[in-house]
Copies of this chain bind each other. A is one copy, B any other.
Amino acid sequence: MSRNIIAQLRAQKKQFNTTENKLIDYVIRDTNLAGEATIQELSVGSGVSTATISRFAKKVGFDSFRDFSVALASAPKSATSDFFGEITDEDDTAAIGQKVFAGATNALNATINNLSPDLLDDASHYLIHAKRVGFFGIGGSSIVAFNAYHKFLRTPLDVIAHPDYDIQLMQAVKLDADDAAVVISHSGRNKDTLLIAQKLKENGVKVIAITSFADSPLSKIADLVLLSLAEEINFRSESMSSLIAQITIIDTLFTIVGSQLSKKTQNVVDTMRNIIEETRSH
């Protein structure tokens, strides 16, 4: 019972007559209400008799109105919509928690739905074949860049990163056409970040941008853009959720690169993980 009855009714409106479309319109208008209603309530609301509704349910492929009703109730809702929205002064702790987490979940869904596997393939190809890989980001994005550096240290790739802008700029200037860079910026418009990207571009470095805006200056400079999407509820929540998406894009690249390297890489991962990451306290 995973068919989406609403999508089906929308697509097939032309195949039904006037009375049936009266019912369809009523059901589509408020699917939640329709899914909870008895056939009598639906009849009063739509102006179609219960007998016709019963027949309609059979016509669209159900054994009974009851089965049709179940399909309405289980039709996909717009995900997490009840808890998705701007945090207001009236929100208590539970509501704030739900909204922050819903924002992050929606950012993840939006981002993966937009990410092209071909772009991911190209990006991981750049990383694997580069002599050296640099990760760059300013402000909040420096945390993503440093997290990326931290993760890719576990691969055989030669990677560099630094939290300070001045040192990032010096690192960028020293990279050349044999290298690759991942430049991370939520807006894609930060002046310092753009200067770094510009230097990289001038040196022929392959530039992978991770940003939220496809038409930003950073996207125009980059050879390849991976979008980290987040709903624009307000600026504060957007950049928080976007950071979650950025980190998960890095995780994905790291996993793809790891998967495409040899079994020896797996051993390096295990060994370095044990040394650096966690040591049992016994």
Residues in B whose Cβ lies below 8 Å from that of A280: 189, 191
A252 to B34, CA, bound (A): 35
Contact pick for A74, options B74, B239, B247, B256, CB 8 Å? B74
Please indicate the chain B residues that have their CB under 8 angstroms from the CB of A70 in the complex.
35-36, 69-70, 73
Task: State whether A108 and B104 are in contact (beta carbons under 8 Å apart), knowing that A1-B36, A280-B189 are contacts in the complex.
Answer: yes
Q: Mark A235-250, 1 if CB is under 8 A from B, else 0.
A: 1110110011001100
In the bound complex, residues from chain B placing their C-beta under 8 Å from that of A97 are: 112, 115, 117, 120, 252, 256
User: Complex: how many Å from CA A269 to CA B239?
Assistant: 13
A189 touches B96 (CB 8 A): no
Q: How many copies of this chain?
A: 2
- B35 with A139: CB separation less than 8 A: no
Given contacts A35-B70, A105-B105, whether A277 and B139 have CB atoms under 8 Å apart is: yes
The CA-CA distance from A108 to B79 in the complex, in Å, is 13
B239 near A277 with CB under 8 A, answer yes
In the assembled complex, how far is the CB of residue A184 from the closest CB belonging to chain B, in whole angstroms?
12
- In the complex, besides A93-B124, A143-B143, A189-B278, 7 extra interface pairs with C-beta distance below 8 angstroms are A2-B82, A2-B83, A36-B70, A73-B74, A87-B255, A105-B105, A191-B280
Could you tell me which A residues sit within 8 Å of B by CB distance? 1-2, 32, 35-36, 38, 66-67, 69-70, 73-74, 77, 82-83, 87, 89, 91-94, 96-98, 100-101, 104-105, 108-109, 111-112, 115, 117, 120-121, 124, 139-140, 143, 146-147, 150, 185-187, 189-192, 194, 217, 235-237, 239-240, 243-244, 247-248, 251-252, 255-256, 259, 269, 273, 276-281
User: How long is the Cα–Cα vector from A36 to B266 in the complex, in angstroms?
Assistant: 42
B36 touches A67 (CB 8 A): yes
